[in-house]
Amino acid sequence: MNAQAVWDEFRDKLRFDSLTEHDFTDEMRSFLSSFLSGDAAQSRREKFLYSPIKTIDSDHKKIVILSCPDDEYRFDFMIHDGKWQLSFIEGITLPLENIDKFPYTSFPSLPEKETWIAAEKREVLT
């Protein structure tokens, strides 16, 4: 099962608001379920449904990066016994694939991302 196939199945569940508890990993179930399910999440689901994607495949993780109007979102899916579970959604994505040499000493400044990361850190610490 590749990332595109996982996304296609997941997108169908988003479209019909039919995600179940088994579609999420245990540690993220309560947060992600409420973030994506129900009437309050309808506009969020629609934004995700119709945004262009990039996929990244590895043996046990499938990654889908959405280019939404407001930002990019990264969806991480874990694969166990041929079944996927959403394990994480990240709204702060750094373009590491654009860096072609190590070390990352010439990583470009990303002020919008840095501000968002700092705000999240302040929120967690308070």
Q: What is the pLDDT of residues 55-87, one digit of tens each?
A: 999 888 999 999 998 888 999 999 988 899 999
pLDDT of residue 94: 62
Structural domain count, the chain: 1
Is the confidence at residue 103, as pLDDT, over 80? no
**110 found inside a domain:** no
Interval 98-123 mean pLDDT: 65
**59 found inside a domain:** yes
**17 found inside a domain:** yes
Name residue 59's amino acid: D
**119 found inside a domain:** no
Higher pLDDT, 65 or 94: 65
Q: Return d(Cα 28, Cα 13) in angstroms, integer.
A: 17
Length of the chain: 126
What is the pLDDT confidence band of residue 121, given thresholds at 50, 70 and 90? Answer: low
What one-character DSSP code corresponds to residue 91? S
Neighbours of 63 (CB within 10 A): 19
Q: Which domain holds residue 70?
A: 3-96
What one-character DSSP code corresponds to residue 49? H
Is the confidence at residue 4, as pLDDT, over 70? yes
**125 found inside a domain:** no
**109 found inside a domain:** no
**34 found inside a domain:** yes
pTM for the whole thing?
0.76
- Per residue in 6-41, pLDDT tens? 999 999 999 999 999 999 999 999 999 999 999 999
Higher pLDDT, 91 or 37: 37
Contact 15, 53 (CB under 8 A): no
**66 found inside a domain:** yes
